[in-house]
Amino acid sequence: MRFCVVGAGFSGAILARHLSDKGHSVLLIDERTHVAGNCHTERDDKTGVMLHSYGPHIFHTADDRAWAYVQRFGTFRPYVNRVKAISQKKLYTLPVNLLTINQFFGKTLSPAEARAFIASKADSSITHPKNFEEQALSMIGSELYEAFFYGYTKKQWGLDPTELPASILKRLPVRFNYDDNYFNHPYQGIPEDGYTAIVENILRSDSIELRLGVKFESLTETFDHVFYTGPIDRFFQFRLGRLGYRTLDFERIDVDGDYQGAAVINYCDGDTPFTRISEHKYFAPWESSQFKASVAFREYSRLAGEGDIPYYPIRLVNEKKTLESYIALARETPNVSFLGRLGTYRYLDMDVTITEALNACDEIDQKLKEEAVIPTFFVDPT
């Protein structure tokens, strides 16, 4: 059979490799001039530092299958994401942990004392938090919320935290010990040669034809089936409206020596216009000392307009309604499947993206064996 896979990020690459391993002919296209989608990394011409071109990417997972899969295609070096945060001109560590609590309140509390102290600050009248703000107030109380979350979240999402779902905050732990690892997952790392090398290795297969710099809209060939990992609203020429995304602007800072001495510093105050600064050599601690110069990026978030790169799906009530209309349209469209973060309009970490793509491969095999129709969606995007 002849398949087209649109998008050479993790979703598209995994699918293309699997279909070619099964003996099918695959055309993989991407409108960008590189593979790896938003996970793309490249060596900076000026400093030699490995840049995460579309923002910092740390691989973290609890999923054995995803972890085993990526390691087939390259070496992952141990990396622990330790984020610093500036609030009201003072520096702290995130996620909120015992050091954050003790420094912020000027105390020397033990774990048990800190737990009781934060419980006394938390708003216990909120039993079922309905939004981001209520979630924060019920977990950590108003002082920590205002210092670390209120301003940052308004900048990141362009909305008041009362308008955002509680689930966004649930991504972050609160700890009553000195563990400042940003993630709770057992596996965490960054590929030694960058993510693009991993995806290039996934794509090392003779029966994949890779065409870069090619938009799906410009193709004239026909295929037995298309796997589309681009934005679902774009596939239908935005005919039911646009799904809202936040986009990011990066402002480059070049310095001799070090800029900030850490990979990521968040700027939590609302009156600082950017959300965070990333200094990319620190994402590769095994080689960071060899660079004389350094490069960092200020990150600004804004509503994505036409032509901007879609980064974070907003997914509020209006967007969800529009998404449902596109899902209905997609289900009536034969021989196309939608997957990945843009195809299903969901915020997906890399590990979830990989797991979903591998599950899709299993399902496709089964359907082809039964000579049945390949599903339009492999997960429910609502």
Q: Which residues are catalytic?
A: 171, 175, 246, 276, 299, 347, 349
Assess 355 for contact with ligand FAD (CB under 6 A): no
Of 137, 348, 364, 374, which one interacts with ligand FAD (CB under 6 A)?
A: 348
Instruction: Map residues 273-312 to x or -, x wherever contact with ligand FAD holds by CB under 6 A.
Output: --------------------------------------xx
Token output for 257: 């020596």
Residues 194-223 touching ligand UDP, rule: CB under 6 A, are none
Residue 267: C-alpha distances to residues 17, 242, 264, 366 (Å) = 40, 30, 10, 48
Question: 138 vs 153, which CB is nearer to ligand FAD?
Answer: 153
Instruction: Map residues 21-60 to x or -, x wherever contact with ligand UDP holds by CB under 6 A.
Output: ----------------------------------------
Using CB distances below 5 to 8 A depending on partner kind, what does residue 6 bind out of ligand FAD, ligand UDP, none? Answer: ligand FAD
Using CB distances below 5 to 8 A depending on partner kind, what does residue 93 bind out of ligand UDP, ligand FAD, none? Answer: none
Number of H helices, E strands in the chain: 12, 17
Assess 330 for contact with ligand FAD (CB under 6 A): no
Q: Which long-range contacts (CB under 8 A, 24 or more apart) does 13-17 make?
A: 13/199, 13/202, 13/203, 14/69, 14/202, 14/354, 14/357, 14/358, 14/361, 15/227, 15/229, 15/339, 15/357, 15/360, 15/361, 15/364, 16/203, 16/205, 16/208, 17/202, 17/203, 17/205, 17/208
* Dihedral angle of Cα 232, 238, 240, 244, to the nearest 10 degrees: 70
Residues 90-119 touching ligand UDP, rule: CB under 6 A, are 94
Cα 342 to Cα 292: distance, rounded to the nearest angstrom: 38
Contacts of 26 (CB under 8 A, 6+ apart): 2, 3, 4, 5, 16, 19, 20, 207, 208, 209
Using CB distances below 5 to 8 A depending on partner kind, what does residue 28 bind out of ligand FAD, ligand UDP, none? Answer: none
Segment interacting with ligand UDP (CB under 6 A) among 68-76, 107-115, 150-158, 237-245: 150-158
Local structure of 206: helix, strand or coil: coil
Q: Which residues bind ligand UDP (CB under 6 A)?
A: 85, 94, 148-149, 152-153, 156, 168-169, 171-172, 266, 268
Q: Which residues bind ligand FAD (CB under 6 A)?
A: 6-12, 29-32, 37-39, 55-59, 215-216, 229-230, 234, 248, 311-312, 340-342, 348-351, 353
